[in-house]
A and B are shown apart, each in its own frame.
Chain A
Amino acid sequence: MKFKFFEHTADTIFEAYGKTFEEAFANAAIALEEVITDTRKVKPAKSVKISARGEDMKSLLYDFLEKFLILFDSEQMLFSDVVIKEITEKDGKFGLTAVAKGEKYDAKKHASRTHVKAITYHEMQIGGKAGKKYVRVLVDI
């Protein structure tokens, strides 16, 4: 299982999973896209590079997910395939670069599910054990 959603009033909570944090973060991005649309209908036609950074893993995840909101708001880009090369830590700063594949929103083809107002730090969790990582995110809708 890559991700799952939880019932919550007025917000959406999801957990995303992976063998590594790189995988769990990438699956969180897909879960976020899944809030916005049905990602099965999104063709991975165009590649976009995404970089994110943070003071810690939580702010890295926040910054990373926020880039998907920016790309949807500014270019109406939807994504269905996200690969993170590596999460790095240097001098207490965390960073990642990812390649996301998707296409521009097309009302005829893509479902318009929920407008995401913001990523939040409410209830954000990042954890797991070796080979089994998870992140938990609440998005404001």
Chain B
Amino acid sequence: MSGDWIPTRDECLDMLTAENFPEIRIDDRILQPMKRETIEHSIEVETLAMKYGRDIKRLGWTINLGVLDAGALLHDIGKRLIDKDRPGSDGYGAHNDLGRRLLEARGVHPDVIHVVESHSAMPAEWIRKLRKVDIYNITLEDRDYMPRTLEAEVVCYVDKLTDGSKYVTLAEWMAEHNRDAPGSRKVRSKEYFESFQRDFMIALHEKFMIMTEVPYEEYVKYEKSGMHQTHGRHKRTL
């Protein structure tokens, strides 16, 4: 179903804001306007993901920055198909799958679709466990939704550390997820965190620090602290 279209930045922003794509129907779903906060979040994820992508590429690794940019901007596009008033609410991870189906129907390149569907990093084993818990209402297919490409890993990593339009540190993210929060539609369980999420994020954190030679904190310090009036970007030794 998917095609060879890697949407430009302008085309991605149009997809986030356009009122309707009349040719597209996914089940009986009606395209919802994207929340302003979700659009802002997507642009923050794009900005940081592209800082990583630019440095990764410059240091000689193979990464497609067109795929990265489109994937980062569109990672939450599936939320446009989630209607809170629709009977039978949508469960955990639904927007990953809806994003994939929407972009497949539009003829978007599979590499971009992979970034979108895998950005939450959900292994098959955990999807099976969550399926048994009513509150998560899992509608995902019985398979991994895990990032398998560098572009997808960058977006997954950056998205988890972008809370709304604010960047958080790995330690802050961990503090937020290392707890049981019953009743939450997001998976907040110590078991999930300890057996999977934590190690996965630490692995990405270390991988990107090695690849870029710049720690995460350097990438986000001006955005976080307003220190930028007096301090410059981290100067590399290379």
Give the interface of A toward B (CB within 8 A): 48-49, 55-56, 58-59, 62-63, 66, 69-71, 73-75, 115, 117-118, 120-124, 138, 140
Q: Is the Cβ of B228 less than 8 Å from the Cβ of A118?
A: no
Consensus secondary structure, chain A interface: mixed
Is the CB of B53 closer than 8 A to any CB of chain A? yes
Seed contacts A121-B228, A122-B233; 14 additional CB < 8 Å A-B pairs: A48-B8, A48-B10, A49-B10, A55-B226, A73-B50, A73-B57, A73-B65, A74-B8, A74-B9, A74-B65, A75-B9, A117-B55, A121-B231, A121-B232
List B36-69 residues whose CB lies under 8 Å from chain A. 46-47, 50-51, 53-55, 57-58, 65-66, 68-69
Q: A70-B69, A71-B9 are in contact. Are A120 and B232 (CB under 8 A)?
A: yes
Q: Is the Cβ of A48 less than 8 Å from the Cβ of B233?
A: no
* Size category of the binding interface on chain B: 20 to 34
18 A-B pairs within 8 Å (CB atoms) are namely A55-B226, A62-B222, A62-B228, A69-B54, A70-B9, A70-B46, A71-B9, A73-B50, A74-B8, A74-B9, A74-B65, A74-B66, A75-B9, A75-B69, A117-B55, A121-B233, A122-B232, A124-B228
Give the interface of B toward A (CB within 8 A): 8-10, 13, 46-47, 50-51, 53-55, 57-58, 65-66, 68-70, 222, 226, 228-229, 231-233, 235
Q: Is the Cβ of B8 less than 8 Å from the Cβ of A58?
A: no
What residues on A are CB-neighbors of B231 within 8 Å?
121
Cα(A138)–Cα(B51), bound, Å: 17
Cα(A62)–Cα(B47), bound, Å: 11
Q: Is the Cβ of A66 less than 8 Å from the Cβ of B47?
A: yes
5 A-B pairs closest in CB distance: A122-B232, A74-B69, A121-B228, A120-B233, A73-B65
Q: B47: which of A48, A63, A124, A138 is its contact (CB, 8 Å)? A: A63
Consensus secondary structure, chain B interface: helix
Cα(A122)–Cα(B232), bound, Å: 4
Cα(A70)–Cα(B226), bound, Å: 22
What residues on B are CB-neighbors of A74 within 8 Å?
8-9, 50, 65-66, 68-70
Q: B54: which of A49, A117, A122, A138 is its contact (CB, 8 Å)? A: A117
Q: Is the Cβ of B222 less than 8 Å from the Cβ of A48?
A: no
What residues on B are CB-neighbors of A58 within 8 Å?
228-229
Q: Is the Cβ of B51 less than 8 Å from the Cβ of A121?
A: no
What residues on B are CB-neighbors of A66 within 8 Å?
47
Q: A58-B228, A70-B69 are in contact. Are A118 and B233 (CB under 8 A)?
A: yes
Closest CB of chain A to B68's CB: distance in Å?
A: 7
Closest CB of chain A to B177's CB: distance in Å?
A: 28
Return the chain B residue nearest A140 by Cβ: B233
Q: Is the Cβ of A118 less than 8 Å from the Cβ of B51?
A: yes
Q: Is the Cβ of A70 less than 8 Å from the Cβ of B50?
A: yes
Q: Is the Cβ of A49 less than 8 Å from the Cβ of B233?
A: no
Among A59, A74, A123, A138: residue with most chain B CB under 10 A: A74
